[in-house]
Structure 1
Amino acid sequence: MIEHQRSAAEAPPAIPTSVLWKAFDVLDAFSRQHRVLTLSELARTSGLPKSTVHRVLAMLRELGAVEQVDGGFRMGLRMLTMAASSPEAGLREVAVPHLLELHRTVGHTVHLCALRGDDVVYLEKLHESDAQGIPTAVGMRLPAHCTGVGKALLAHRPADADAAVQAPLLRRLTPRSITEPRTLALELAQVRQRGMAIDRDEAVPGLSCIARPVLVGSRAVAAVSIGFPSSEGRGEEWLGQLGRTISSLSAALRKRPDLMEYLFRSQA
């Protein structure tokens, strides 16, 4: 009992929750378009007072989460090291060889995505260097119901967890986005029946994709899609290759029960 009291007394003081929120507000200000930001830009983007941002930056710099460079501040390499430890990074490592083969075969953009809440998060994107018009990026989040990969994943989520279908109104990205929950429920039933999902101009005008879920057992741990200009058809000619990619990737993941355990936990 005495040892327990001593260890509790010697423990460092907890960081106030408000400081953690402010630290993430600052980190969220960085993006692919704004990799280096000044103190003023960080304050403006985060909505925090400049004095608060200054104090938070000092803490983040000490932790290695942010680095000071010419022209301002940038995300620190420690953040990359931490992200590489996530189960999704392990999923990506297993998936990339299969995605590369698919990309070489179809010649169009290939995505690997995971579901978080009612959004899809892009874990990988393979595309030609001169590819235009598909404004996705690794780390980007989009409403799942507007994307092929998202619908492929929503269709295999437990009904009691499917808040998207129960929402009063769904977010619209284009005039063709599904906004009625009843319409989405019917669409997801068709996805389960077909084993694949389609997005035609629902996330970005003029762009389509076909997608299939990556199933391990009965659970979808990710989804893979092929994105292409809508003017090039409906993508039926690639369904076979996409199916073979999904089958080989699912088989590879079944050999990694350690990784699957963590991925299943992250979905709980």
Structure 2
Amino acid sequence: MRDVTVGTKTVLGKATLILRSFAIGDQALPLAELVRRTELHKATVYRLCQELVALRLLSRDGSGYRVSGGLFELGMRASAERGLLELAIPFLQDLYERTHETVHLGVLDGAEVVYVSKINGHRQVRSPSRVGGRMPLHCTAIGKVLLAFGDPSLRQSVLSKPLERRTPHTIVAPGSLSKAVAAIRRTGVAFEREESALGITCVAAPLVGADGAVAAISLTGPTGRFRPERHVGALRATAVALSNAVRRGFPGHRDG
């Protein structure tokens, strides 16, 4: 399944398409599956996979190709995300200790949330989020916070396109999402109630730097037990403290 955002006219574009065809949770993928997902010629995929193996970005075993440690090393050199994560970890750990619920840290990338950190609670909840994974903005608590406190042009772009329905509870009407975003701007927190996956509920708050929301944090739990309203105070306190730390010392974000 081709990612249309990636150009495939160049060798670099084709290699990137192969790397991005690995989904969260994939182990080894056979050559035939990579050909199917990328829609590239089999000989091209084979040749580029061999080069990616030589560069330690992929590895190969009897069951196919898998993402290699070299790609992880490159990812860890993404200075902005790494700097934010290093700054945030003590705050996220404190929030976890106060709530014992699953804590997420997410950043904006295009029209999606990329999860930078996830600390699982004692009673883990099955959720689609994974560190390094992506989710649409409109159906996640973190995503809706980033929409509410991000650039107005991003909101306009998201609201002007069809919204994917992930569950029966996903907000897909632009007018309804616009009202929800306006409420988030008033209250400073966003809720998600089974909008990205059935059985989970989330509450999120923004991390506000000098130029607006730089990220967001959330608490997640099972719908049958988790009461997000009870944790708003702890979440807000952590978001404010971490936002202050971001404005003081996070590289790339100047003081106002």
TM over 0.5: same fold? yes
User: Residue 222 of structure 2 corresponds to which residue in structure 1?
Assistant: 229
Structure 1 window deviating more from structure 2 (29-38 vs 150-159): it is: 29-38
- Which of structure 1's runs of 4+ aligned residues deviate more than 6 A? none
2:81 corresponds to which of 88, 92, 99: 88
Corresponding residue SS for 2:71: helix
Counterpart residue identity of residue 138, structure 1: V
Gap runs ≥5 in structure 2: 1-7
Q: How does 1:33-72 map to 2 (within 5 A)?
A: 33-72=25-64
Q: Deviations over 1:196-251 (max 9, x none)?
A: 11111111122111100001135100000001112225322211111121122112
The alignment covers a number of residue pairs equal to: 246
Contact 2:87/2:250 (<8 A) preserved: no
Amino acid corresponding to residue 59 of structure 2 in structure 1: E
User: Alpha-carbon deviations, 1:150-206, whole Å to 9, x = none?
Assistant: 111100122233234541532211111111111111111110100111111111122
Q: Partner letter of residue 133 of structure 1?
A: R
Superposition RMSD in Å: 2.1
154-163 vs 28-37, which deviates more? 28-37
Residue identity in the other structure for 2:77: S
**Quick check: 2:129–2:135 contact (8 Å CA) kept in 1?**
no
Identity level (%): 34
Q: Secondary structure of 2:203's match?
A: strand
Partner of 1:255, secondary structure, is: helix
**Which ranges of structure 1 fall in alignment gaps of 5 or more residues?**
1-15, 262-268
Select between 245-254 and 221-230 the one with higher mean Cα deviation. 245-254
Q: Of the two, which has the highest radius of gyration?
A: 1
Decide whether the 8 Å contact of 2:115 with 2:132 is kept in 1: yes
96-105 vs 25-34, which moves further: 25-34
Give the alignment's TM-score, normalised by structure 2. 0.87
The CA deviation at 1:260 is 2.6
8 Å contact 1:91–1:259 — kept in the other structure? Answer: no
Q: Which residue of the other structure, out of 98, 107, 116, is the alignment partner of 1:114?
A: 107
Residue type of the alignment partner of 1:31: A
Equivalent residue, structure 2, for 1:102: 95
Shift of 1:18: 2.4
- Name the residue aligned to 1:139: 132
Q: TM-score, normalised by structure 1?
A: 0.84
- Rounded to whole Å, the distance in 1 between the matches of 2:93 and 2:134 is 22
SS of 1:36 mapped into structure 2 = coil
Deviation at residue 137 of structure 1 after TM alignment: 0.6
